[in-house]
Chain A
Amino acid sequence: MKKDEMRQLTEEEILKDIRQAQQKKDPAAILQSSLALAEHFPGHSNRLIAAKSINGAIPALEAEYSERQKARIALIFSSTAAWLKDYLTVDLCGEGILPQIYVAPYRQMEQEVLNLESDLYRFSPEIIFLHAELSSLLPQDSQYDDRAIRAVVDALASLVHSLRKKTKSLIIIDNFPQPAYLPVRSNRDLKANSVKEWFFQLNNAVSDCFQRDDSILISDFDHLTAVHGKERATDPKWLYLAHLEISESFLPSVSRKYAGYVKALKGKTRKCLVLDLDNTLWGGIIGEDGMEGIRLSQTGEGREFYEFQKFLQSLTHRGVLLAVNSKNNYEDAVKIIREHPSMLLKEAHFCCLKINWKDKSSNLLEIAQELNIGVDAIVFVDDDPRERALVRQSLPQVLVPEMPADPAEYCRVLSRLNDFETLNFTEEDLKRTELYRQQKQREQLRESSSSLGDYLWSLEISVEVFEAGGKELPRIAQLMQKTNQFNMTARRFSVAELKNLAETGWRLFAVQVKDRFGDNGISGSAVLEKQGRSCVIKSFLMSCRVLGRGVEDYLMNHLYQTAKSEGAERLVGELIFTEKNQPARGFYSQYGFTLLKQEGDKSEWVYPVEGNQPKPVAWINAGRHARK
C-alpha cells in the first residue's frame, strides 16, 4: 500500500538519476535506478538501456557480492545473443544475482568450443547455455530424414565432448523448435513422415543422447516457442537484419527460463507454495456461503478453481510443498477440504495448515519454522491485494506474485514463475510431501515424549554412511544446492564435479537415514581430502529434516574413523561463513574441534586422531538400506 502512495518517478527522472549516479560513480545507485527503469517503464528499449548502464556498474559491484550472489554465465549461440544477454542481466540483477555473462563471438560457435585455448574457457563459466539453430549444424541441402537427425545429434555431441574436456560447468542445451511455417503438402502429411514428426524425433534423439549425463540438461525451447506463439517467437525483420532469432515479445520468456536455471544453480529454488483458501482454492467465502455456496466443480461454474487445484497437485509431483494460510474458522475450512466432492487437494497434499485469525505474516513465519526452511523459500498466493501488500511489506523475502482478478488466469500466472526450477529431479522430489508428513508425526512424538533422550530412542533411527557413486550423485548435488543452513562450507558441486572428485583423491560420503516413520533418503553428505597427515573436511552438510537427532555426530564419527584408518594424524574441519549457515557454525566446537586459524569468513578447526575418542551416538543403529 505504501508503495502506491509514494509518487512514482517519471521516466525522465529515473534516466536523470542514472546519469547522476554515473557521474558520481555510485554503482549501487546506478543498479537501483536502472532496475527501476526496467520495472516501471518496461519497454524493450528501456530494458536494453537499463542493461547497458548496469553492465557499466557490474565490475565495481563484484566485490560487494558473495560467490552465491554472483553467476558466471556463457551464452553460446549460433545467432546474435546480445539482446538476450541484456534481458538476462536485468532479470538476474532484479533477483539479487550479479551476473557476468560471456557471449561467444558471433559466427564462431564451433571455433570457440573446439579451441581449448579460447576466451570461453578462460572465462570459466559455471553455467553454459548452448543454443544452436538447425541451419548452423546441418548442410544446406539436408533433407528431413534420419541421416539429418544423426548429423545434428553428432554435431551437438562433439560440441559437448569438447566442452567437457575443459569445463565442469552445467550445460543447458535448447532443443529445436518446430518452425511456424511447415512445408506440409496435405493434411495426410500430419501422420507419416511429416516435418512435424521429424522435429519430434529429432528432439527425442537429442534428449536420449544426453540423458545419462546429469550435468547436461535439455531445455524444451520448442515448447517455449509454442507457448509464446511460433509466429511471434521470431521477428523476421530482426532475423534478417541482425540475425536476432528471438523476437522482442519473446525475449522476456526466454530470459525468465534461463534465469530460472541460474537461480536453481545458485540455490535460490523456492520450496513451498503457501495458499489462501477463500477465492483462491475455491470461489466464495466459506464463512458466508457455506459448503453449498462454494464455487468449486469439475464442470461449469467453479471449474477455474478445480483446474487450479489440478495444477497445484502437479506441482507437488515436482517436489514443491503446499501449505495453507487462511483467515477462517479451522473446523469450517477443514470440513470443505475433507468433504467437498470436487476438492482435489486433500489434507495429505498440504504439509501445513494454518487456518486461524492471526495475521498472515505470523503464519508464514510459523510455516517456515515448522518446515525448517527459510522465509525466502516461500511463495505466497492470495487473491486479496491487501493481504499481498501486507506480506510484501513485513516479509520482503517471501515472493508474493500479483494475482489476476480472474481466477481462470491463476494457473497461467503461477506457471510463469521460474522459482521452482530444479536441476536434478530425484526420487526424493516425488516423495517430498510424504517426507514432511513423517516429520510432523516425529514432532508429535517429541511433544509426547517426557525427555529428548526418550524421544531420540523411540525414533528407532538407523543410519548408513557410505561412499557415494554414480546413481546417488544427482541427489547429492541437489542437496548441496539446496542446503543453506547446516552447511559448513556451502561448496556446491555439480554432478560432473562430484564425478571428478574420485580422480582428485577426494572421498565423497553420503548418509541415508531411516526411522520408524519412514525413509528420509539421502539426507547429508561430506567430502574428505587427504592432505599429507591431515584429512580435511571440504564439505559437510545435513538436511534440516534430520538435524538434531545425532546424525551429524554419527557422520563425523565416521569421518574420524576414516581419518584414523587412513593413518592421518588429525581431522581438519573447514568452516566458511555464509549469510545463512548460522546453525552450522558451532558444530565443530561442540564436537570437540579446536580453532586452528581464522581468516575473515574462513576458519579451520582441528581434531587430533591420537588421544581422542568420539562419543558414540547410542540411539542410532548402523543400517544397510536398500537404494534404488
Chain B
Amino acid sequence: MPENNIQERLNRVFSKVFNCSHPQETASPDNLPGWDSLGHLLLVSALEEEFKTKLTTEDIFQMVNFRTIQAVLEEKLNHESPKDSSSRTSERGEINSL
C-alpha cells in the first residue's frame, strides 16, 4: 500500500474524529482539542474501522501522536501479505481470535 494513501486516510480519520479540517503531522494530545483519553479510544476505533485491522494493546500504547500512529499503521499494513489483508476484511469478531 503506497504511503501517501495511508497518510490521506489517516487525515480523513483525524478530521472526522476531532472535527478539524487539516490535522498537522505534529498533532498530539497536547495540541489537538478533543484528544483526551476518551478521544483516543474513539480514534483507535475509527482507525481500526478505516484500515480494517485490529490494533493490539501494544500498538495502542505506541500510538502517542500523529507520527507514531502513522508509523504503526505503515508497519502493520506493509507487512501484511495479500492473504492476510483479505482475511482482515472479514468480520471483526473473527479477526479478534486470530
Contact = CB atoms under 8 A, between A and B. Distances in A.
Interface of A: 15, 19, 22, 43-45, 48-49, 52-53, 82-83, 232, 235, 237-238, 240-242, 244, 248-249
Looking at chain B's contact residues, is the secondary structure mostly helix, strand, loop, or mixed?
A: helix
Interface string B39-70: 00110011001000000110010000000000
Contacts of B19: 19, 22, 53
A241 B49 contact: no
- Indicate the member of A45, A53, A240 with the most B CB atoms within 10 Å: A45
Given A49-B16, A232-B93, A249-B93, A241 B45 contact: no
Contacts of B37: 242
B93 A237 contact: no
Contacts of B98: none
A22 B19 CA distance: 10
B57 A235 contact: no
A249 B92 contact: yes
A235 B45 contact: no
B17 interface: yes
Given A43-B49, A49-B16, 14 more contacts: A44-B45, A44-B49, A45-B17, A48-B42, A48-B45, A49-B42, A53-B19, A82-B38, A82-B41, A237-B56, A241-B57, A241-B60, A244-B41, A248-B45
A22 B57 CA distance: 34
Contacts of B46: 45, 49
Interface of B: 16-17, 19, 37-38, 41-42, 45-46, 49, 56-57, 60, 92-93, 96
A245 to B, nearest CB: 14
A498 to B, nearest CB: 39
B59 to A, nearest CB: 10
B51 to A, nearest CB: 12
A193 B20 CA distance: 57
19 contacts: A15-B16, A44-B45, A45-B17, A45-B45, A45-B46, A45-B49, A48-B42, A52-B42, A53-B19, A82-B41, A83-B41, A232-B93, A235-B96, A237-B57, A240-B57, A241-B41, A242-B37, A244-B41, A248-B45
Contacts of A15: 16
The 10 A-B pairs at the shortest CB distance, nearest first, are namely: A45-B46, A45-B45, A43-B49, A48-B42, A44-B45, A45-B49, A82-B38, A232-B93, A237-B57, A242-B41
Contacts of A244: 41
A240 B61 CA distance: 12
A503 to B, nearest CB: 42
Nearest to B41: A242
A237 B46 CA distance: 15
Contacts of B17: 45, 49
Nearest to B39: A52
Nearest to A53: B19
Contacts of B56: 237
Contacts of A249: 92-93
Contacts of A44: 45, 49
Nearest to A56: B19
A239 B96 CA distance: 14
A248 B57 CA distance: 16
Contacts of B49: 43-45
A43 B92 CA distance: 11
Contacts of B57: 237, 240-241
A8 B49 CA distance: 21
B47 to A, nearest CB: 8
Contacts of A237: 56-57, 60
Nearest to B60: A241
A597 B17 CA distance: 52
A232 B96 CA distance: 9
Nearest to B61: A241
Contacts of A242: 37, 41
Contacts of A22: 19
A43 B96 CA distance: 17
A15 B57 CA distance: 29
B4 to A, nearest CB: 19
A240 B37 CA distance: 14
A91 B77 CA distance: 34
A406 B89 CA distance: 26
A48 B40 CA distance: 12
B15 to A, nearest CB: 8
Nearest to A19: B19
Nearest to B97: A231
Contacts of B38: 82
B45 to A, nearest CB: 4
A309 B42 CA distance: 43
Contacts of A232: 93
Nearest to B59: A237
B68 to A, nearest CB: 16
Contacts of B45: 44-45, 48, 248
Contacts of B41: 82-83, 238, 241-242, 244
Contacts of B93: 232, 249
A14 to B, nearest CB: 11
B24 to A, nearest CB: 19
Contacts of A45: 16-17, 42, 45-46, 49
A372 B16 CA distance: 48
A242 B38 CA distance: 9
- Indicate the member of A22, A244, A248 with the most B CB atoms within 10 Å: A248
B76 to A, nearest CB: 15
Nearest to B19: A19
Contacts of B92: 248-249
A241 B93 CA distance: 18
A22 B42 CA distance: 20
A48 B17 CA distance: 9
A22 to B, nearest CB: 8
A19 B20 CA distance: 10
A235 B45 CA distance: 13
A15 B37 CA distance: 23
A237 B53 CA distance: 14
A39 B56 CA distance: 28
A26 to B, nearest CB: 16
